[in-house]
Amino acid sequence: MIHQKNILSESSLSRKTAIIFLILTGILWSTGGFIIKAIPWPPLTIAGLRSGITLILIYSYSRPKLSNFGRYTWGGALSYTLMVICFVIGNKMTTSGNVILIQFSAPVYVAIFSFSFLEEKSTKIDWLSIFIILTGLGYFFMDDLSFSQLWGNIFALLSGFGFAGLTLFMRKQKDGRPIDTVILGNLITFLLCSPFYGQAIPFEIDHWLMIIFLGVVQLGFAYILYSMAIKYVSALDAIIYPVVEPIFNPIFAFLFLGENMGVNALIGGTLILSGVIGRGIIQNPNTL
């Protein structure tokens, strides 16, 4: 692993390779929803322990210099914390399919702030995609929701805000070390959730193996790939190409948990995926 790190850190990635990394990232992320559902622990316990394991892995992979933690690193880290905590809470309150598809409203916020924050201009195709995505998002709130499900969707929306902020701040560090943002974000998450570690957690080896998988694979390896790829694509690309996550997440939830999505959620998800995939095909037909 160390040898691989040196090779990747000393050479530039092509745009095509970066996009492949982003797609792989989305596949790894997509394993989170149904596994979080399967662990019968409090959400903040899951979020904190998962981040603690991820912190160990990524810190071992690329040790940061604390003096390099500037405002963009801190901004991205706080966005990361908002994203991962709200994602886990949302998964416990509504379907994992709803959470991941609502979270993927994040390209809207990235497109809005990309020019002023990164000087990366959004095109007419970007804005058309955003309109389609927003329309799809509206369908999630048209189902007959219970109070609990409604709050689950709200937490998913907050997770989307965090996802957008994380992408913008990491892209801002394209000439530096965007991976430091992930290291600091996991540290903050682990510490913030620490008051909940004292709750009674039954020692079931299967559940601990799931937590380890979430920390090492679903977040750890995924964000190593993401932090490398984001240097070579725009912020909007970095948040759109991992779109395979909302494709695979509900599939995994259905296969392993028997969890179905409502009709309106399926319509909304179809619109969101159509917006982000259609935009990629029209703008970059040769790099998909």
Does any domain span residue 181? Answer: yes
How many residues in the chain?
A: 288
Asked if residue 148 has pLDDT above 70, the reply is no
Does any domain span residue 8? Answer: no
Question: pLDDT tens-digit profile of 28-47?
Answer: 998 888 889 889 999 999 99
Domain ranges, residue 172: 14-283
Does any domain span residue 3? Answer: no
- Looking at residue 63, its pLDDT comes to 87
Question: Percent of the chain, pLDDT > 70?
Answer: 86
Does any domain span residue 91? Answer: yes
pTM passes above 0.85: no
Residue 122 pLDDT level (bands cut at 50, 70, 90): confident
- Looking at residue 155, its pLDDT comes to 92
Asked if residue 277 has pLDDT above 50, the reply is yes
> Crossing angle of helices 106-118/124-139, nearest 10°?
150
Does any domain span residue 9? Answer: no
B/e letters for 26-43, b = 16+ CB within 10 Å, e = fewer, are bebbbbbbbbbbebebbb
The mean predicted confidence, pLDDT, of the chain is 84
Asked if residue 266 has pLDDT above 80, the reply is no
- Looking at residue 4, its pLDDT comes to 42
User: 257 or 42: whose pLDDT is higher?
Assistant: 42
As for how many domains the chain has, the answer is 1
Residue 220 pLDDT level (bands cut at 50, 70, 90): very high
Asked if residue 22 has pLDDT above 90, the reply is yes
Q: What is the 3-state secondary structure of 113-167?
A: HHHHHHCCCCCHHHHHHHHHHHHHHHHCCCCCCCHHHHHHHHHHHHHHHHHHHHH
What average pLDDT score do residues 52-71 get?
A: 90
Question: pLDDT tens-digit profile of 161-208?
Answer: 999 999 999 999 988 899 999 999 999 999 999 999 987 677 789 999
Does any domain span residue 72? Answer: yes
Does any domain span residue 88? Answer: yes
Asked if residue 7 has pLDDT above 70, the reply is no
The highest-confidence range among 6-10, 62-66, 198-202, 242-246, by mean pLDDT, is: 62-66
- Looking at residue 200, its pLDDT comes to 65
Asked if residue 75 has pLDDT above 90, the reply is yes
Does any domain span residue 1? Answer: no
Contacts of 18 (CB under 8 A, 6+ apart): 228, 229, 230, 231, 232, 233
Question: pLDDT tens-digit profile of 223-245?
Answer: 999 999 999 998 888 987 887 77
